[in-house]
Amino acid sequence: MSDPSEIDVSLLTNEQAKAELKRLAELMAHHDQLYHTNDAPEISDAEYDALKRRNLEIETRFPDLKLENSPSDKVGAPVASGFSKISHNVAMLSLDNAFNDQDVRDFAARIRRFLSLGASDKVALTAEPKIDGLSMSLRYENGTLVSAATRGDGAVGENVTANVKTISEIPQQLPENANVPEIVEIRGEVYMRRDDFFALNEKQAELGKQIYVNPRNTAAGSLRQLNAKITASRPLKFFAYAWGEVAPEMPATTQMGMVELYKSWGFSVNPLMQRFDDIEALLQHYAKIEEERPELPYDIDGVVYKVDDLALQARLGFISRSPRWAIAHKFPAEKASTILKDIDIQVGRTGALTPVARLEPVTVGGVVVTNATLHNAEELERLGVKIGDTVRIERAGDVIPKVLEVVSSPDDAVEFEFPKTCPCDLKSEVVQEKTASGAAGVIRRCSGEFACPYQRKEHLKHFVSRKAFDIDGLGEKQIEYFYQDESLYINSPADIFTLSKRDQTNFTKLKNRDGYGDLSAQKLFDAIEDKRTIPLAKLIFALGIRHVGEATGKTLAGAYLNWASFEEAIMSIISGDEAALQELLALDDIGPAVVDAMRQFFERDDNRKMVDDLIAELNILDAEAPSADSPVAGQTVVFTGKLERMSRDEAKAMAEQLGAKVAGSISKKTDLLVAGPGAGSKLKKATDLGIKTITEDEWFTLIGRD
């Protein structure tokens, strides 16, 4: 057989393409190591780009063979394995995004609603440029820099303390008698100015070394050098703008006040940061920064707004992994035109069929784009897009590129017919989803559920994902490997936990495979064994039921506490138990769509068998009962009527912080009704059921906040 590296992409077979993608990934990883970590590249930029282009072309032609850690998905420097890890005592959260002025107005309106503010009440917001760099957390104890960590996954980052100490703009000792807390984690962005970046590239060119792509990636790669001397040679800068852990108390009461303190402590803060109590003035400032963007000495990709008052920040709290009190107003997406070469159908974990445009590679915002979503059949029809058309695409930040419109269509352009059967071998019927009102929806789904090989494989990938079972050494790439290998077949979640005990035959086979030796095979089996014990919330989320995300999994676990109770409730609902149904619907954030999805999932015999086989292999940890440290801990509370001292959202957040469960309707399980003026049917039903009812003022007295 010919060497795959010498064969034109259009002539590669499936097996040759698979081998070539593996070769390219290994070769590019080798050159990435030389370039990013050792700072000693062996090949030119043009030669590296040729490898990358070939990799992209193969992935475009064989999308199902794309590797989990494909070189085409890498942006910036890779994480160096030589760094130890640091856990963040206060998580480094991401921000929600706003993409237009109305999004910002809606953000401000949500804040006002949450805080129950009147029309005359002012809420000041700060506005500062969103630096395109690498997030950093600096920990000072008694004024001395003791550690520095990257964001990582938000909970754990890389320990880059030695490298950070080489950055002149980061003080290693804070001034005495300057209102510095005993412990303070100062957060901000490590970046590289454009002029420094260009000067560095000139120096690289003079030395015949690799030319860097952009300041952000160069700053990230420079900071992640295992050799701190290399970092010291790079002109890195730092803007301070946020904080993590602070003890014993905050030294300021506002966002602006904290940033001004940072400046007095010797940190660089952004001079464009301003405070506004008028949304239109805030948006004018955004427009001014966008206009000045090309002239700034550093790269930015938007403006960040934050509630200035720290007490209001505390009241607003967080939603999932982002704060309610801050948002990033991104600059408009970048656009480009290219040729649509083909349209493929991808089948997702929930069976949704998504048309994907395969494009002639084009650079948009510094990233090579080869694929773009077409969303659904209705969008295809609306755009009137055909294979062979020249189309305009848009990419905004990390959002998946999308096709905006058809620029031109040649005479030989080919119309695309949306399939009526799934592309899998089963050819299951494709059904059109219905909306809550019963009308036809825009989503078309494969009806095969777990029997569909596409859905089954995606279910398995979801099952082992980080927020689900998170089995070390068993990710998407390994699932692909085991799914395709008949002798090591993983066809369902339970197969994962029987892998090591199938007559010990698989151990012999596994350790003789590429990449597995005695030690690595045993490590995998040990990691699987370690995850036999799983919290209930993670198990419910890992099942991959449509509409049941991580937060819903936690809600269900908190309500039913153990697997037996959860399973009994679902099976009772399937059998027509109205009381069980109403109890489930009374849970906060559980609506008819979630209930229908769970009912449909557990009604299918193949899904039931899959779940039963899995449960037999697991030790499921019960959810923790709510803390008994407050007078409402463990109680189910319902709020009704007009609340005058707090908004409904704030009331819910307050009750949950006190260990209570907040429901949206009255049932026999309700312990307490908090009724404001105008309470209607809920108050009557609570009275009929003998449920304790109190006023809003009595609520504050009860929880000790009167």
Residues sharing a CB contact under 8 Å with residue 67, sequence separation 6 or more, in sequence order: 21, 22, 25, 477
Three-class SS state of 45: helix
The type of residue at 595 is V
Residues sharing a CB contact under 8 Å with residue 538, sequence separation 6 or more, in sequence order: 467, 468, 469, 553
CA–chain centroid gap for 425, Å, is 32
Tokens of 188: 């901000």
Three-class SS state of 595: helix
Q: Which of 119, 135, 122 is nearest to 275 (CA)?
A: 122
Backbone angles phi, psi at 354, to 5 degrees: -120, 120
Residue 130: active-site member: yes
For CA atoms 623, 629, 633, 639, the dihedral sign is: negative
Three-class SS state of 280: helix
In eight-state DSSP terms, residue 380 is: H
| H, E, C per residue of 535-567 | EHHHHHHHCCCCCCCHHHHHHHHHHHCCHHHHH
Q: Virtual CA dihedral for 574, 577, 580, 584, nearest 10 degrees?
A: 50
Q: Are strands 97-98 and 326-330 parallel, antiparallel or unpaired?
A: parallel
Q: Return the bridge partners of 403, or none.
A: 393
Tokens of 140: 């000072």
Q: Which of 18, 66, 130, 554 is catalytic?
A: 130
Q: Which of 620, 612, 617, 636 is nearest to 562 (CA)?
A: 620
* Burial (CB count within 10 angstroms: exposed 0-12, middle 13-18, buried 19+), residue 220: buried
Q: Output the CA–CA distances (angstroms, integers) from residue 149 to 91, 92, 463, 662, in the order listed.
A: 12, 10, 29, 37
Three-class SS state of 158: strand
Known catalytic residues are 130
